[in-house]
Amino acid sequence: MKIPSDVLEEVKHLRHNIETHNYNYYVIDAPTISDAEYDLLFQKLSQFEEQYPNLITPDSPTQRIGAPALSTFKEVQHRTPMLSLNNAFDEKTVSEFDRRMREGLQVEIVTYSVEPKLDGAAMSLIYENGIFVQAATRGDGTTGEDVTENIRTVRAIPLKLSREKLPKLIEVRGEIHMRKADFIRLNQQQEAKGEKVFVNPRNAAAGSVRQLDSKVTAQRPLSFFAYAVGKLEGFPSPETHKEMMDFLVDLRIPVCPVRDRVEGLEGLRHYFDRLSALRTSLPYDIDGVVYKVDNLQQQKILGFVSRAPRFALAQKFPAEEALTLVEAIDIQVGRTGALTPVARLKPVFVGGVTVTNATLHNEDEVHRKDVRVRDTVRVRRAGDVIPEVAGVMRNHRPENTTPFIMPQICPVCGSRAVREEEASATRCTGGLYCAAQLKGAIFHFASRRAINIDGLGEKLIEQLIDQEIIRSVADLYDLNLSILIKLERMAEKSAQNTLDAIKKSKTTTLERFIYALGIRNVGEATAKDLADTFCNLDLLMKADEETLQKVPEIGPIVAKNVLVFFAEPHNRHIIKRLRLSGLSWEEGVEKISEELPLTGLTFVLTGTLSRMTREEAKEHITDLGGRVSGSVSKKTTYVVVGADPGSKRDKAETLGVTILDEKAFFRLLNQEK
C-alpha cells in the first residue's frame, strides 16, 4: 500500500514531538504538555501505524510497549570489557589515588571529572547510525545478557539520536536506576495488587531489567544516566571525559546533572563533601562518588590493572548510624493488612535528616533484637531511605522494661489480627472494611480481572477516599453524577462513563467476586476452584476448615485464611451491602457434597494417550468429580502417563506419586473391563 506523502510528513512530525516530550518529561523533568495531550499525540501516531503497517520502525515511540516474552536471554560479548571500579572508604585511599595519578602522569596537579555513584544496574547501549540496536547487562564484564527489548521500553532512553551528524557506532555505558519517588509509587502499586514489594530502588531496577517479559519492564518507572562511552566509530572523539558527557547531552542521552570537573585532591574533597550534603535531597539513590582523570589521552597512559581502570576510583559514603531512645512502639497497618511495629524515637540526626521513626519489620524481628520501650538503640538509614533499628545497647537498658507483645486486634479498624503458620507478618482480617487497606482493597476489587470497573483508576480512588466519599468497596455503588463531577479532572461525560462501568460491573461471576474480595492467598485459580466447588457464596461462607480443604489445591493455610475472612463481621456486612446493591452472578448446586467416583482426586496428564485427546481425558475426569492440574505436587493423586512422557513422570517418581499407565487410567474411568 502506497503511503501518501502528507501522512509520511505527519508521522515524522508526530514522532519528533513525542520523543521531545519524552525527553522533557523523563530526562529534564520539565513537561510542556499535559498527560491527556501526550496521549492524543500517541494515539494519533498509533492509528497511522495501524492503517499503514509499513510505517512501523524499531525507533518509533509506539514500540516501547514491550515484545513477546522470551524463554531466556541471549549472551552478548562486550566490544570492550565493562570493568568495575576500585573502592575507597577513607580519605587516605583517595590521597594515595591522587598521588599515583600525579606520579603516573608526571604532573603536579590532575584535573578530574567527578560524578555521583548511582545505585542501580550497569548497562551498555549500542547505537548504529543514530538508531538504538542493542542493550546488554554488565554480566561478568566480558559477556552480558541481551536485554534490548526491555530497555526499548525505558522512555528516558532515546530510540533515535537527535543530531544531524552522528557516529557510525557509539556504545553508551550507564546506570539503569529508579528514582526514589517512582520506587515508592511502584511499591504502593505492588501492595495494592497483593504482589511482592521491593526492598530498595536498586533491586527494583535490576529486577525490572531482567524480566523475560518486556511488557512487565514497560510498566516499571525506570530511569537512566550515562557515565561513559565504550566505543566510538566514524566520529572525532572529544579530548576529555567532560566533553564526551557534553556530547552525549547534545545527543539527548541522559547524563547526571550533578557532575563536575575539579582540580587536584582538594577538589575531590570538596566534591565529596558537597555530594554528602546533597545526598538525601537528590531524587535518586547514590552510595558514593566517582573520580576519573578527565583527559582521555591521560586515561590511556594510565591504563588498567586487573579488572579495574587505574585512572578511576569510587569513594563510598560511610555507614551512618546514631544512638537514640525508643519512646514507644506503635503498630502501623499497611495496604495489605500487615501489622508492622514501628519504633517512635527521640529525634536524632542520621544521614542528613532528623529521624523520629524506625521500622522494626515484624514480631520476630522485634523479639530477635529484643527492642523495648525506653531502650537506647542504634539507628541506621537502611538503603539510605528507610530508617531501621540496627541494635539495642543492652548495658543502657533501665529496670522494669517489658518485652514487646504483638496486638491481636487491628489498631485501625478493631478487626481480629492473625498470624499464619510459618509466616512472619501478623495481618488484619478486616480487608473490606479497614481504612488502612481501603485504597488497595478498592483498587484490587475494581481491577480488570476482578469486578472490572473500567476507568476507576488509582487517582480517582484516592480522591474518593481522601475526601471521605467512600469508606468501603460497597460505597462505590452509592456514587452518583452530582458527587463525581465535583472531583478534580472529572467532567460530566467521564463521570457518567464511570457510573456506567460501575453499573455494568454488577453482573459478574462467582469466581470473579471471590477473587475481588482480596482474601489472602486466594488468587484467580483458587477463586475459580472455590466457585467451581461450592457454586454458591452462602455455602462457601458457611464452610468449615475441613470442608474447605476438600477443595483441590487448597491446604490448611489457604483454608484458614478463607475461614477467618468470612468469620469477620465487618467483611460479612460489606458483602451483604454489595449484594443488596445489585451485584449478582449465576449460582448452582454445591459439588463438594456430590459423591462422584473421582471426587477429591487430582490428576496430572503427561505424554500422548492413544484412545483420546488430553482435553477429552480432562473432561472425563472432571465429569466424574476429579480435578486436572498442570503440575505435579505432593497433593497430586495420580500422574497419567501416555507415550513420550515429559519430566512430570520423573517428578512423580521423586515425590512418590502413583503413576497410571493408559490401561490403568481407562480402568479407573470404567472405560475398560
Phi then psi dihedrals of residue 467, to 5 deg: -90, 10
DSSP-derived letter for residue 236 is P
Q: Which CA distances in Å does 468 have to 189, 337, 461, 475? A: 21, 20, 11, 10
Determine whether 656 is exposed, middle or buried from the number of CB atoms within 10 Å of its CB (0-12, 13-18, 19+): exposed
Closest by CA to 224, choosing from 113, 83, 84, 120, is: 120
Catalytic annotation, residues? 117
DSSP-derived letter for residue 437 is G
Closest by CA to 25, choosing from 192, 219, 223, 197, is: 223
What DSSP string describes 650-669?
Answer: HHHHHHT-EEE-HHHHHHHT
Contacts of 240 (CB under 8 A, 6+ apart): 111, 113, 261, 294, 295, 296
312-316, strands of its sheet edge to edge: 87-88, 312-316, 286-293, 111-118, 260-263
What DSSP string describes 23-45?
Answer: IIIIISS---S-HHHHHHHHHHH
Determine whether 191 is exposed, middle or buried from the number of CB atoms within 10 Å of its CB (0-12, 13-18, 19+): buried
* Alpha-carbon span 157 to 217, nearest angstrom: 14
* Alpha-carbon span 595 to 467, nearest angstrom: 52
Three cell numbers written together for 54: 509499513
Q: Taken in order 635, 636, 638, 639, is the CA torsion positive or negative?
A: negative
